[in-house]
Amino acid sequence: MKYRRIGDVEVSAIGLGAMPLSLPGRPDRERAIATIHAALDVGITLIDTADAYTTDADGPGHNEILVAEALRGRPEEVLVATKGGLLYRDGGPWDRNGTPAHLKKAARESRARLGVDAIGLYQFHRPDPGVPYEDSIGAIRELVDEGVIRMAGISNVTVAQIALADHVLGGRLVSVQNQFSPAYRSSQGELDYCVDHEIAFLPWSPLGGIGRGDEVFAAGSVFTEVALELDVSPQRVALAWELSLGHCVVPIPGASRPGTVTDSAGAAELVLSGDQKARLSAP
């Protein structure tokens, strides 16, 4: 496994997005735990979760509790990145709550569920149009100052919001988590900004998400062509391509089966030629 940095922490170049282990359609508990353990076994040291990864019946934090249980007794050094500011609703849309009071309460509840003294990385999940962005980030800053969280990140943001958040945090913004994949490249500007400013960029749904993967990895697509050339899966090619876009990029593909985790982790070691990278990057 190769490694990259989030703030002052070295993490695996590929993380695990744990969301599929808790939303409707999730695997049973045994397979969910086995999936997280498979990630650890192949050297993954970054797990992404959130208090909103749950169901109405379970209430906030199902995924955080699951991740904490899977990590119990494991000696590996793992950075658990969680998020607050969204409220899951069966059938959607998810509600937003970026008030300082909610974020401070949510962070402390996440810390308790994870069973840690301080959350390794806490990210504001999505801007709340009803709350000034600087107020929400101000709450995150106070959580860092109070030692509730070690590092601060943001998610689903624009370049302007990245700059504002870093300013409010006094230059302590360590990560940005936006949707980015071969099928969804509209966050290229945010990715480039993060690379230029040494901020980790964590693409979510890096394989296209539900409904787009078939299009990207269909027979005859450039990702499938390169996969055939390298004798690997097109999904592994996609993750390797994202890694090639900048030294601060750390994809967090979701998984609900151990085999998927193992394949994704292999992207960290996959070397693409200059010609292959150019073909994959073409619009």
Tell me how crowded residue 253 is: count the other CB atoms within 10 A of its CB: 27
List, in order, residues 6 or more apart from 176 with CB less than 8 Å away: 153, 154, 155, 157, 162, 190, 194, 199, 200, 201, 202
Angle between helices 62-71 and 100-114 (to 10 degrees): 30
Q: 153: which strand partners?
A: 123, 175
Instruction: Given the residues 3, 53, 122, 193, select the one marked as catalytic.
Output: 53
Taking the C-alpha atoms of residue 133 and residue 131, their distance in angstroms, rounded to an integer, is 6
Taking the C-alpha atoms of residue 80 and residue 48, their distance in angstroms, rounded to an integer, is 6
Q: Token pair of 105, please? A: 């309460």
Taking the C-alpha atoms of residue 45 and residue 80, their distance in angstroms, rounded to an integer, is 8
Taking the C-alpha atoms of residue 206 and residue 164, their distance in angstroms, rounded to an integer, is 25
Taking the C-alpha atoms of residue 155 and residue 122, their distance in angstroms, rounded to an integer, is 10
Pairing of the two strands 9-12 and 3-6: antiparallel
Whether 53 is a known active-site residue: answer yes
First to last CA, the chain: 30
Active-site residues, by number, are 53
